[in-house]
Structures are given as structure tokens and as C-alpha cells.
Amino acid sequence: MRMQRKKRIAAFLLAPLLLCACTAAPGTQSAAASSEAPPATEAPEPVQTPAADPVEALLQQMTLREKVGQLFMIRPDSLEPELTREQVNDERAEGVTELSDAMRATLQEYPVGGICHFGKNVEDPEQMTRFNADLQQASELPLLIAVDEEGGTVARLANDPDFALPQYESAAAVGATGDPEQAREMGRTIGNYLKEYGFNMDFAPDADVLTNPDNPVIGSRAFSQDAETVAQMATAMAQGLQEQDILPVFKHFPGHGDTAEDSHSGIAYTRRTLEELQACEFLPFRLLDNGFSPDELPAVMAGHIAAPALGDDDTPASLSYHLVTEILRGEVLDGAPALVVTDSMAMGAITELYSPGEAAVRALQAGCDLVLMPDSLPEAFDAVLAAVEDGTISAERLDESVARILRVKQQYAGLELPQEGER
């Protein structure tokens, strides 16, 4: 079955897009029927059938299980069936650092769309490069392979002495220079070494505006307390990452800089009104206004941040249709088709209130595309599969997210699709 599937995908990827032309030949009459030749007619211009969207064509070939799999980005530890849920989600526990046969089998059973590495999955440059290459080889479709590499305190690779990589004091220190080129160069530098080790996605830049100096989780991870400065610096860093073919992820919408709580342990709250958010926290996330084209958009992370003043009470943004679809997609992104990923679904803000399956379904209903690190992959996967089968999540809604993921993979992960107009 696996070989047949690979052949099927390969055949699609190599197939040209054919353009159909039709010409109408003038009719003829026999001399017995008429002594006069029919009036001359001009042949009509060839009619070209518009080329099919290659992403849509691939979608039509995918099974439901393959589509559902694309919606999940997991820790590599989730592929190891011998590990407990607690071991998988404990960043201090021993992590997997190479791909086993059992993990390969899990990846076939749950064909996820991406992998996110943590410090426990990192040993040295050779191991990291080999691990990522083996993961890509084992997957039917190219994987998004990500890491948190912001620069400063959150840098899984640069802060590991076995890598001997350039280090940055903090985003705040870069922001304090007032020079966006410094942030752009930081993005280029980080993107360059991430690409070398087989990554194609970075959960950076931090686009939070530090409006609460007592914030327990953001601090110097933010470029500034000034929204315009954050917008300039985050944009420049993201563009630097893109120059190295790394997909940036702006985080944490609707803004983690005003919160007084740590979403790792529970829901964080922003008490800002919509007008206040529009004037401050939203500015770095206005990707089109900040110079990104609709065809070269970074991704956006929806945080586990509730905004009671916006009418959602205690619902975190990651699970809120109002915040993700109506405000983020409809207003802040102005309809631009950016990929939206949740923050980790193994964080306390989610696990204390929702089952893995409920959280995953609600995130997709909210308008998120990629469910990051569910507390239990099998439970979340099966719940989403069932939700599509019973219509809780429509087939159209599923295809919408999968299409966005495939287009991003075409740009950053080497998914080869025939281009419109190719013969």
C-alpha cells in the first residue's frame, strides 16, 4: 500500500497540466447533394481550458486520513509508542533523538503535517541534521519541521554549547538599537543555520508588545514596549528568515505582552478593549500593512489568551471563532490567506479545561489551520476524523486548511507541484 501511494503521488507530481484546444472544421457536401460549394467559414480561435489548481488537484487525490494528518504538528516524541503522555510532554524528560522503526510505523498510521523539536530532541549538529532528514524521508509528503529559535533566552540550538552558534542577548536588546536592519540580520543569521540543519519553520519572531512590564513570560523576548517599534523589528526579522527560506511565525495573537499570567499553566488574559488592541497589540500582526505580499505571508500563532472585553469571556483565542476568524483573519489580516497555528495544546491553559480531542476540534472550528502538539495525538486525530465524518467540521472547512498547509509546504518544504501553464 505504501509503495502504491508513493507511486500515485509521484505520478501526480510529474504529470503536466494539459491545455485542451478545440477547432471546428468546416463541413463538406458531396457534389450530388449540391452543385455549389458551401460558404467559406473561418475556424474559431482555439479554446483553452484553464489549468487546474495543482493544490486542489492534490487535495482530490488525498484520503480523509491523509488530510486530517496534515492538520497536526507534533513533538517527535509523540511518534514513539513506548513513551507515556507525561514523558512526551515533559521538556525535562529524556527525548527521542533519532528515528526508530516504531516511529516510522506511527508516522504512517498518523501522517502528520509537521514536527516541532525541543531541547531534549537536540544533541549536536550531525544528529540534528540526520534526524530531520530521516523524518522527511519517512513522510509521504514533506514535513514542516519547526523549532523555537527567537534569539535570546528562547533559542533551542544557539543556547546549546554543542552547536557553537551566534547568540543574541535578547529581542529587547535588538529593538533598543532602533535599527530594523539589526533585526533583519538576526533573522538571516538564525534562518541560515536552521536551514543547514534541515528546518523550514521558526516559531519567531515574538510580536508581542510588552505593555505590562511585570509580565511573567514575555519580558525581554519582546522587541519593545512600543507597538510601532515591535512591528518594524518583527517584520524585519521575519523577512530575514524568509530570505533563508524559513517560514516565520508571528506570536502570540492577540498579544501576550499585556498579560499577567503564564499560559503554560493556565489561561492568560488581556484586559484591553478592542480599540486598545487595534491601536497597539494588533499593529505587528497587520502583515499586509507592514509590507508582506499576499503570496509571501508569514504564519501567525493564536495564543491561549482570553479577551473578556471582546465578548469571549474565558475562551482562549486559539479556540475562539470570534478572535481567529472574525478579528484576526477578517480584520487584522484583511482576508489574507496566512497560515494560523495554535500555541502548544499541551499547555495548562488547554489541558486543564479541554480534552485533547475537544481542543483540536474547537481550534479548527475557530479557524486555525495547524494544531500544535496536542496532549494526545491519537485522541486528537481520531476526534477530528470523527468530526469531519459526522459533519461537525465540513469537508470544505477541512480542505481550506489543508490547502493553506500545502501551499506553505510548496514555498518552504519542497513540495513540488506543477505550475499553472506548464506543459
CB 17 within 8 A of CB 420: yes
CB 74 within 8 A of CB 85: no
Catalytic residue of the set 134, 226, 245, 264: 264
Catalytic residue of the set 77, 206, 343, 375: 343
| DSSP letter assigned to residue 283 | G
Q: Which helix (H) or strand (E) holds 116?
A: strand 114-117
Cis peptide before 205 (omega within 30 of 0): yes
95 vs 80: CA distance, rounded Å: 10
Residue 305's DSSP bridge partners are 268
Cis peptide before 81 (omega within 30 of 0): no
Query: Is position 262 annotated as part of the catalytic site?
Result: no
Q: Half-sphere exposure of residue 83, counting CA atoms within 13 Å on the CB side?
A: 23
Among 141, 158, 128, 135, residue whose Cα is nearest residue 76: 135
Q: Half-sphere exposure of residue 89, counting CA atoms within 13 Å on the CB side?
A: 17
Burial 338-375 (b: 16+ CB within 10 A, else e): bbbbbbbbbbebbbebbbbbbbbbbbbbbbbbbbbbbb
102 vs 330: CA distance, rounded Å: 43
The terminus-to-terminus CA distance of the chain in angstroms comes to: 30
Query: Is position 322 annotated as part of the catalytic site?
Result: no
Cβ-based neighbours of 42, under 8 Å, separated by 6 or more: none
Can you say how many angstroms the Cα of residue 162 is from the centroid of all Cα atoms in its chain?
A: 29
298 vs 340: CA distance, rounded Å: 9
Q: Catalytic residue positions? A: 264, 343
